[in-house]
Amino acid sequence: MKNPFINSPLKAFPYNSRVYTNEFNSTFAAKNYVLVAFTPGSALQASELNEVQETFYKNTTLYNIMFKNWLFIGGTGFTSGGNGDAIRGPSWVGAVPVDPAGGVRVSANGITFNKDWYLVDDRSGLKFWIYNNSELYIKAITAGYYGVGITYGYVYGTTSDLTDNSGGYPGSIINGADRYYINITEAQFHGDTASKIDTNQRSVLLKTGITFNYLNNLLKRGE
């Protein structure tokens, strides 16, 4: 799915939210800052509060788009069932593409995870929307579970682009809040068990055998 976000209402001066620059601007890879981590003793920036607001509405928008896409069963590239199992909603423990038809491509012997938004589980059990910045391909000649590798971490407010930007651009000696990020790193084969989130930071999307199915049992046809 094409990135639906072409702008953000609070990026302009004097609001200076960084959501557009960090997450939506197609010129750069999305940084996938999912949380703003405030620390005691640090000055609170107005732009950080605006970032929290825009991130909330980004998430709400993507949830609405996801349910619109997944509740339309029968479009090109996928169909209901296929293995006799009941189809459940599109929110399992693992990684869920915002669009079941466009987020993942399958062929006779491979799976491609497209550039798209995915709903992934953090190790805490919370779910976050992150953008996959690169097409990721893996051969799928062995039956089992396939997904993506994910990394977690913090970027500290001493980073130059997170310092105070009340003047319209970062560069102040006043540090900002930290950020917590989650990124997709690679396509992975997870073996014959559905290890959704583990110490190896794996997040599963598909199970394969005779067919390719999402974890809610929706059949994904080959292309």
> From the CB of residue 174, how many other CB atoms can be counted at a distance below 10 Å?
14
Q: What is the mean pLDDT of residues 55-83?
A: 74
Is the pLDDT assigned to residue 199 strictly greater than 50? no
Is the pLDDT assigned to residue 138 strictly greater than 60? yes
Q: What is the mean pLDDT of residues 52-76?
A: 84
Average pLDDT, the chain: 84
| Contacts for 213 with CB less than 8 Å, ≥ 6 apart | 82, 83, 206, 207, 219, 220
If one compares 141 and 42, the residue with the highest pLDDT of the two is 42
If you write DSSP's letter for every residue of the chain in order, what string do you get? --------TT-STTT---HIIIII-TTS----EEEEE--TTSPPPHHHHHHHHHHHHHHHHHHHHHHHHHT-TT-TTEES-SSSPPP--S--SSEEES-TTTSEEE-SSEEEE-SSEEEEE-TTS-EEEEE--S-EEEE--SSEEEEEEEEEEEE-TTSGGGS--TTSSS--SS---EEEEEEEEEEEEEETS---S-TT-EEEEEEESSSEEETT--EE---
Residue 5: which pLDDT band, with cuts at 50, 70 and 90? confident
CB 30 within 8 A of CB 131: yes
Q: What is the mean pLDDT of residues 174-188?
A: 94
If one compares 156 and 212, the residue with the highest pLDDT of the two is 156
**Per-residue pLDDT at 221:** 59
Q: What is the mean pLDDT of residues 201-209?
A: 69
Q: Burial of 93 by CB count in 10 Å (0-12 exposed, 13-18 middle, 19+ buried)?
A: middle
**Per-residue pLDDT at 125:** 85
**Per-residue pLDDT at 98:** 93
If one compares 211 and 96, the residue with the highest pLDDT of the two is 96
pLDDT digits (tens, 9 = 90+) for 102-122: 889 888 779 999 999 999 988
> 179: which strand partners?
36, 155
Domain ranges of the chain: 19-220
Taking the C-alpha atoms of residue 98 and residue 217, their distance in angstroms, rounded to an integer, is 16
Residue 171: which pLDDT band, with cuts at 50, 70 and 90? confident
**Per-residue pLDDT at 127:** 93
Q: Burial of 32 by CB count in 10 Å (0-12 exposed, 13-18 middle, 19+ buried)?
A: buried
**Per-residue pLDDT at 2:** 54
Mean pLDDT is lowest, of 41-45, 56-60, 173-177, 190-194, for 190-194
